[in-house]
Structure 1
């Protein structure tokens, strides 16, 4: 078994996710995430298997870590051979999460955004905010970024990072959503970050900060106005507090595979809202793509990630 460093770029991660869905993965039947409360926070167990590969992520969520200069998300990912379940590789679970979560958002927002998308408003200035700016810059014609964050130091760092990607960037307030084409929420907030009535009809909003039924980053005003998109209806029903607390009906939700395969109708006369809680198949898709890239470049052999 080898230890793999994550070297995939955001476009390759987006492609791996898209390919998995186009190959026919049934997102509504994927294994559930197990969550166990522990004194420091929460332990998550996320298994998945699709064709040539299987894998499991063991992740820790430690809310007190950032104050001590440590990452909030910890963990490891074990990649297995699908037919034999023999271990193939070990990856950094936190790094994998930091790559695949923005890639999922980028895949969804690429399909939901309008052709003239230019202005991104991002809430938060942690690793996920940095990853989302980079991933969305890679798939959409962004021109400028407004950063809304509690701490001025990290917010300024994110502005400089965005400028390094060739974007105009500045720190702003929550009312910046009124002039946004995209709004992405990457925070640990448990209550809404902005007034959903301010979001323009043509804008797209994504919330990725929580996987708990009693936490949300957007309000019922936005949910009530928007067309609603999720990774999977079954998962949203259990974990998507943004939707559950707003009383969204399950039948109003469109899943990501329907969006990617073109079966979903995307309207641009109202907001579109994508709620992500994270699913194990996403980690597997990206980990398998990294393994295949390493094998291809090192020995000329590779595996494909295909659904069963």
Structure 2
């Protein structure tokens, strides 16, 4: 069975995906997921930023197995194409039978935002003295829009949405669509909650712009040699990882700054009373994307067809 992006869009919802991702993150931290490191090959199609990569992400969890093959081509923006594209194969764990092959682009988009929504729902009540209201976004692409949509499901108090982008026209367009404001980067960064969702290889968020107790959701800058946050932001913050070993291996924000991961989100979600989330300093939630999230979403799609 092949499932197209249009069919995925028709059945996959944040109402179902966010709680499923929450449980998947808990299962990962509890050691119930067999997920080897992502393998990445460079495409060798160019000598500059257009050089793409091809990733293979397998996982075994519960009653299924799966593998996502994903590509990232930064230069696709210039061609009017998606920068990320993917295919997910889902198999029955007990027999190895293929269950479905499905387009993974939308799944990647939605599961990334759902991870941030699950993380927000676990961290925010422990971190903020009063409910946050302002949401600053650096980036105006697919993930900016997806995060607004996903976070609304767990953050009904979101009121002031600020969008900054190197492409001012894109920021203005998204702001108009989402009832938000297009602003400069430092104003977006001064919000209660800040999202970085760019493909920039160098920091776009400076620590000096952040509020003393900001919550940062850092989801862009894929790779160990690129980063979105400067040293001041990283070293002044309490770092919560989507998956500790994954982030320590693949996040340039962590590797290049020398910052230490202090908690894993699955542990925070499973035992909030035991979590040591501070109220008096910044929190950074760093995600790099994991196969367990893709297969969790793919399983939801397959069950809905």
What TM-score results when the alignment is normalised by the length of structure 1? 0.88
Q: Hey, what does 2:243 align to over in structure 1?
A: 232
Distance 2:265 2:32 in 1: 8
Q: Hey, what does 1:79 align to over in structure 2?
A: 90
Correspondence 1:128 to 2:143: yes
SS at match of 1:64: helix
Distance 1:195 1:96 in 2: 30
Distance 1:91 1:267 in 2: 41
SS at match of 1:138: coil
Correspondence 1:57 to 2:68: yes
Cα displacement string for residues 188-209 of structure 1 (whole angstroms, at most 9, x for unaligned residues): 0111113202211221001111
Cα drift, residue 182 of structure 1? 0.5
Structure 1 residues 73 and 193: CA distance shift in structure 2, 3 A: same
Q: Hey, what does 1:37 align to over in structure 2?
A: 42
Distance 2:23 2:95 in 1: 23
Q: Is the 8 A contact 1:119 1:142 kept in 2?
A: yes
Q: Hey, what does 1:118 align to over in structure 2?
A: 133
Correspondence 1:104 to 2:109: no
Distance 2:141 2:166 in 1: 11
Q: Is the 8 A contact 1:11 1:139 kept in 2?
A: no
Structure 1 residues 237 and 118: CA distance shift in structure 2, 3 A: same
Cα drift, residue 212 of structure 1? 1.1
Q: Is the 8 A contact 2:40 2:55 kept in 1?
A: yes
Instruction: Point out where structure 1 has 5 or more consecutive residues left out of the alignment.
Output: 164-168, 295-308
- Range with greater deviation from structure 2 (271-280 or 89-98): 89-98
Q: Is the 8 A contact 1:2 1:88 kept in 2?
A: no
Structure 1 residues 205 and 28: CA distance shift in structure 2, 3 A: farther
Distance 1:236 1:183 in 2: 19
Q: Is the 8 A contact 2:68 2:89 kept in 1?
A: yes
2:264 to 230, 238, 255: 255
Q: Hey, what does 2:21 align to over in structure 1?
A: 17
Correspondence 1:149 to 2:154: no
Distance 2:92 2:192 in 1: 42
Q: Hey, what does 1:297 align to over in structure 2?
A: none
Q: Is the 8 A contact 1:43 1:58 kept in 2?
A: yes
What TM-score results when the alignment is normalised by the length of structure 2? 0.89
Q: Hey, what does 2:49 align to over in structure 1?
A: none
Instruction: Point out where structure 2 has 5 or more consecutive residues left out of the alignment.
Output: 46-51
Any residues of structure 2 matched to 1:174-253 within 5 Å, and which?
Answer: 174-177=185-188, 179-249=190-260, 252-253=261-262
Distance 1:285 1:222 in 2: 32
Structure 1 residues 176 and 97: CA distance shift in structure 2, 3 A: same
Any residues of structure 2 matched to 1:266-305 within 5 Å, and which?
Answer: 266-294=277-305
SS at match of 1:75: strand
